[in-house]
Amino acid sequence: MTKATPDEEKLDEAARAGWLYFIAGHTQDEIAKMLKVSRPTAQRLVSLCLSRRLITFRLEHPITACMEWAERLKATYQLSHCDVVPADTSTPNSTAGVAERAATVLEAYLKETSPRLIALGTGRAIRAAVERIAPIDCPTHQLISLVGNISSDGSASLFDTVGRLADITKARHYPMPLPFLMPSTDELKQILNIDSIRRVRTLAGKADLRLVGIGQMDEKAQVYVDGFLTRDELHEMMRLGAKGEIVGWAFNAEGKILEGGMNRRLTSVPLIAPAAALTIGVAIGKAKVTAIMAALNGRLINGLITDETTAKLLLQ
């Protein structure tokens, strides 16, 4: 038998300490005695277990205040689905809570026995949700990407989701191996006429669930920060009145998809307004409130996963 390395032994100890603390319910003093280490060492092992995600858990008890915010959002914006998670005041822009909740929604669809079509956007929150999915075999389900994941310099997005989820679930998947933007409208028309691309877009239109991020359109817009838009292209969209974007489609304060600028060269699957299938936006933060509200008012989404702080702002 191969001897474990010191790092592997430490992770084993951390996993054991984490199990004793979170699953078996022992105190850190008790764990220290069981593992024959000092209490500070036991505390560090438990912390290491959490930081390395050797053990994961989910909050199953619904918090009353969060449920009330969710019900108010559903009534105000006529939503089919809404989840509000507790806010982390120490890191207000952390997507951990909404990602965990989005993962729960995804898993519910993945565990269904009848074949499901699941369409995904990209971005930090959606990628974080996918990373929380436990391995499961879902060969009858199909996963479709809603957005091209290649930037103008030819590099691929770090936040692609469909390929990663397919690895975890063994589901058949349909990526969108296209540039986010085409150089011209003529080239866009040509590439969208390719049979395989047309089939993927048709398939996406039949999705049972669409899970998407909602982006702001300002100097900190992720499509700009991640290199999918140039500064000039971003400023053009801002001049046209862009307040937010979903899978690249920029929309104004009323939630209307803009006709000019980058939208004329975008390869993403078109948004449907009002959303037909369950289309859940996952987003938090004061900077995104305008974009989220616009998406809700324009009925580009009919579901929302957000946190308490953002929910309050949306209802003011």
φ/ψ of 45, rounded to 5, equals -65, -40
Residue pLDDT, tens place only, 92-135: 778 888 999 999 999 999 999 999 999 999 888 999 999 999 89
From CA 129, how far away is CA 1, in angstroms rounded?
37
Best mean pLDDT range from 3-7, 74-78, 99-103? 74-78
Q: Considering the domain 64-315 in this protein, what is its CATH number? A: 3.40.50.1360
Closest C-alpha to 231, from 216, 218, 215: 218
β-pair partners for 266: 181
Model pLDDT, residue 57: 66
From CA 107, how far away is CA 109, in angstroms rounded?
5
Does 1 have pLDDT greater than 60? no
Q: Which of 70-79, 92-101, 205-214, 256-265 has the lowest mean pLDDT?
A: 92-101
Residues 6+ apart with CB under 8 A from 212: 120, 121, 123, 126, 146, 246, 247, 279, 280, 281, 282, 301
pTM: 0.83
In 10 A of CB 97, how many CB atoms? 21
Model pLDDT, residue 2: 52
Model pLDDT, residue 222: 92
Domain spans of the chain?
A: 6-51, 64-315
Model pLDDT, residue 75: 97
Record: fold of 6-51: Arc Repressor Mutant, subunit A (1.10.10)
In 10 A of CB 80, how many CB atoms? 14
Per the CB < 8 A criterion, the answer to whether 249 and 281 are in contact is no
| Location of structure tokens 């559903």 | 74
Q: Which long-range contacts (CB under 8 A, 24 or more apart) does 153-158 make?
A: 153/227, 155/227, 157/122, 157/226, 157/228, 158/127, 158/226
Tell me whether the CATH fold assigned to 6-51 matches the one assigned to 64-315.
Answer: no
Model pLDDT, residue 53: 78
Q: Helix, strand, or coil here: 239?
A: helix
Residue 259 pLDDT grade (very low, low, confident, very high; cuts 50, 70, 90) = very high
φ/ψ of 61, rounded to 5, equals -85, 120
Query: DSSP string spanning 43-55?
Result: HHHHHHHHHTTSS
Residues 6+ apart with CB under 8 A from 94: 88
The DSSP output letter for 23 is: I
Best mean pLDDT range from 56-60, 152-156, 169-173? 169-173
